[in-house]
Amino acid sequence: MQKTARTVVIHETGGPEVLKIEDRPLGDPGPGEVRIRHHACGLNFIDVYQRTGLYPMELPHALGMEAAGVIEAVGEGVTHLKPGQRAAYAAVPAGAYCEARVMPASQVCPLPGGISFETAAAMMLKGLTVEYLFHRTTPLKRGDTVLFHAAAGGVGLIACQWAKSEGIKLIGTAGTDDKCRLAQFNGATHCINYRTEDFASRVAEITGGKGVDAVMDSVGADTFEGSLDCLKPLGMMISFGNASGPVPPFNIGILGQKGSLKITRPTLFTHIADHSVCQAMARRLFGKVAGAEVKIHIDQRFELDQVAEAHRALEARQTTGSTILVP
């Protein structure tokens, strides 16, 4: 067995320059744990939030929340996985940017044979996020309309296809005309270039002034107020990310003034904390992908040594679809 694994670690918060690659000890799994050797690792904005300190962690700490590979060993009590089995995960604690690791087994999921390691690594955190947005956050049914910000990103392109597969109208936003075309190609009913149009006014036009049933917003500060203006009375604001910075404090009375609106700030890791729920969410995601209802777009690939470059591209919004790291 290889005794160490190359792992991306931060010793301080800051820019991409704080990302360091170290050889870390690699032992045997204890009770409830597995050792997995990665074939591909996913890149997500939560990794940036952790690197910058927006989401605090005890340092030093490895980064990365999703990956796919082969199980090398299982600890006592692990029954849903076995050595030699293909697997994928989005899970805590962070540490997926590495060649291999020992980790809790609960959120590691058996990977169907028809889904590649790269596809799995690119979709676990993003795809499970879309699953809970559409199935576990607010009731949505065929014919409903949602506004989805960053519709050409990794989560967004999955959401566009997911919505189309379930008869939900998705109005997307993106920062370029090319990204808008990409979102529409993947199932968005409309896509608004927020750099050239006021998205709230455009949503009002598209919906005939009625507004949307739900807003799914991972952008944060820049889009929050406009997003509230896009909702119909009793609509749901789902704020699930902070790409432009955290939403500042606001007067909760605004929700009443704008039509008795509802608001939630969910996280994926609350949803997948329960083992059986996590596995059920993964099976639904795998079914969407295996059934060709959702195609995972891997538009950027970086070697593990290029992790800082990958972070710079993500933060500069120079990426589309999903990005993976190859150990």
pLDDT digits (tens, 9 = 90+) for 311-320: 999 999 898 8
Residue 48: which region, alpha, beta or left (left: phi > 0; alpha: psi -120 to 50)?
alpha
pLDDT of residue 194: 95
- Closest by alpha carbon to 22, among 36, 41, 5, 40? 5
- Alpha carbon 285 to its chain's center: 13
> What DSSP line would sit under 35-62, residue for residue?
EEEEEEEE--HHHHHHHHTSS---SSEE
Second CATH level (architecture) for the domain 138-265? 3-Layer(aba) Sandwich (3.40)
Residue 156 near residue 320 (C-beta atoms within 8 A): no
User: Boundaries of CATH 3.40.50.720 in the chain?
Assistant: 138-265
Tokens of 171: 């109005």
pLDDT digits (tens, 9 = 90+) for 6-54: 999 999 999 999 999 999 999 999 999 999 999 999 999 999 999 999 9
Instruction: Kindly give the parts of the chain with pLDDT less than 50.
Output: none
What is the pTM (predicted TM-score) of this model? 0.94
Second CATH level (architecture) for the domain 4-126+269-326? Alpha-Beta Complex (3.90)
| Half-sphere exposure of residue 86: CA atoms within 13 angstroms, side-chain side | 13
pLDDT of residue 94: 97
Amino acid letter for position 289: V
Q: Which residues contact 145 (CB under 8 A, 6 or more apart)?
A: 168, 169, 170, 171, 189, 207, 212, 213
pLDDT of residue 198: 97
Residue 160 near residue 170 (C-beta atoms within 8 A): yes
pLDDT of residue 269: 95
Q: 180: part of which helix (H) or strand (E)?
A: helix 177-185
Strand 190-193 to strand 322-326: parallel, antiparallel, or no bridges (unpaired)?
unpaired
User: Boundaries of CATH 3.90.180.10 in the chain?
Assistant: 4-126+269-326
